[in-house]
Amino acid sequence: MSHLPRLSGRRIHSHQPQQPAAIGLQQRLLRTPLVHSRPCTHHHYHHQNKNTFHTSTPRRNLIEDPRYSPAKVAARAKYPVITAKDAAKKKDMPLEAKMLVRDFIDDSLYHPNYGYFSKQAVIFSPETDFEFEKIKDNMEFLDIIADKYKEIEDDMDVRDEVARQVWHTPTELFKPWYGYAIAKYIVTEYKLNNYPHKDLIIYEMGAGNGTLMMNILDYIQQFEPTVYERTRYRIIEISKKLAQRQGERQEVRDATRRHQCVEVINKSIFEWDTLVPDHCFFVGMEVLDNFSHDLIRYDTVTEEPLQGMVAIDEEGDYTEIYTPVSDPLIQKYLSIRKQTGYRPPVLGRRFLRRLRNRLPFAPNMTGPEFIPTKLLLLLETLKTQFPKHRLVMSDFYTLPEAIPGTDAPVVQTRYSGTMVPCSTYMVMPGMFDIFFPTNFELLKDMYQQVCRPSLGMEKSVKVQTQKQFLERYGDLERTRTYSGENPMLMYYENNKMFLS
């Protein structure tokens, strides 16, 4: 499968072979070595503490590596364990401290001063909607996007030398049609189950530019006026800048076309503490992928899980260390996951592992596995604060060029106009986008356990590809090019929808 690159943090996938017309996009993906402004060390860990484990590096190397001298190891053992919340209270990056991997990644992405999202976040939004019927084919569509994208980036180059993160999402590229498809799904389900007794209440987490909100409400206003009268739309947005943009979004419209039913709440979903007793739809498009994960490995002999932590030394060098799981959230995640019957791929091939364990330099831990502990927090928030929700989420189920490990993230940044993927998450905080794929089948089982425990394997929880969803709810006429190709179905092929 070839894939056409997303221009920044995220990617478009397509079965289309690459053709010269797409070169503008391809060039942006040239791989260049990246010089880290801070050295990062990883995957070679040794600890004298019997409760701490090292990874698969042959043991003899450890003696030669000064970073693992007894003095260093002893110093590291005394570092305090801090969370991302603790780090957020200080302006500078933490030194001489240990953090769970999820806190380290959270800090890198969301620290109020240096976090990746705290900088200017720009989501690509073409000024006018594409008229697909006037575009020849998919390749011409890509050329148009590449040109528009370049214009935005050139502008940004002038204004901002450091942080450039221009994402584009299906919501933006295929507006208003993508939003209309989501609206059609929501209204269909609402009419089947709640109309006319209940209002239509929609919560959107992480609304970016507010485009989906506008498109969903435009659709309902235009095609379902009686439903529109009883619609309320609330956005929960972590970014101050984006929340502001969402609030101002309607100001360019004349007063009669503004939606009065919108409220923007500038808050992280993880801080949400208000009970919403109503039936509501809870929407989140491309938000899950930045939810931080923990990292675990297993003892190759006992299969005991071990939690990953990052130790940051006095010079800001990173070392990954492992201890038996003591974090309550990781424990809870593993315990719920066990009930689903999930078996981690790194624990497969038991027979081979036993054979390997007999070799002199056999690793004492399995390969890494990233687990979506923050996603579990979202499920718990949904269960306790939005007990009557219906979930509509879309995200990546697979990502090319991820770092090694099960469900491992992509870590990348733009450097001299080029997208550069990295091989570890232990990089200078704030300089890199770190985003994860979601295992939707496992999510479905976890969701069932957390949010719908009494209902057994409920038929109404569905996972489908974005393409399947759009084939059913999308306007395929208006999104077709005149050669007959439909870019809305062809791209973001690595996205799935979760519907409950």
Ligand X SMILES: C[S@@+](CC[C@H](N)C(=O)[O-])C[C@H]1O[C@@H](n2cnc3c(N)ncnc32)[C@H](O)[C@@H]1O
- Report the residue number, 186 or 207, with the smaller CB distance to ligand X: 207
Distance, in Å, from the CA atom of 210 to the CA atom of 314, rounded to the nearest integer, reads 42
End-to-end CA distance of the chain: 30
Question: For ligand X, which is the closer residue by CB, 288 or 446?
Answer: 288
Angle at the Cα of 56 from the Cα atoms of 54 and 62, rounded to 5 degrees: 60
Q: Which is nearer to ligand X, 152 or 347 (CB)?
A: 152
Residues of this chain that interact with ligand X (CB under 6 A) are 117, 123, 167, 169, 171-172, 205-208, 236-239, 242, 268-270, 285-287, 290
In the complex, which residue's CB is closest to ligand X?
Answer: 206
DSSP code, position 283:
E
Q: Determine the Cα–Cα distance for residues 443 and 403; give it in Å rounded to an integer.
A: 21
In this complex, which beta carbon is closest to ligand X, that of residue 108 or of residue 239? 239
C-beta of 285 vs 451, nearer to ligand X? 285
Strands 231-237 and 262-266: parallel
Q: 242 near 235, Cβ under 8 Å?
A: no
Shortest distance (Å) from residue 79 CB to ligand X: 27
Sign of CA dihedral 127, 209, 412, 139: negative
Shortest Å distance, C-beta 341 to ligand X: 29
Contact present, 100 and 309 (Cβ < 8 Å): yes
CB of 106 to ligand X, least distance (A): 9
Contact indicator for 391, 460 with CB cutoff of 8 Å: no
Residue 211 Cβ vs ligand X, minimum distance, rounded to whole Å? 6
**CB of residue 171 to ligand X, shortest distance in Å:** 4
**C-alpha distances in angstroms, 448 versus 140, 203, 259, 339, 432?**
43, 21, 35, 11, 33
Q: How far is the CB of 121 from ligand X (least distance, A)?
A: 6
Of residues 298 and 396, the one with the C-beta less far from ligand X? 396
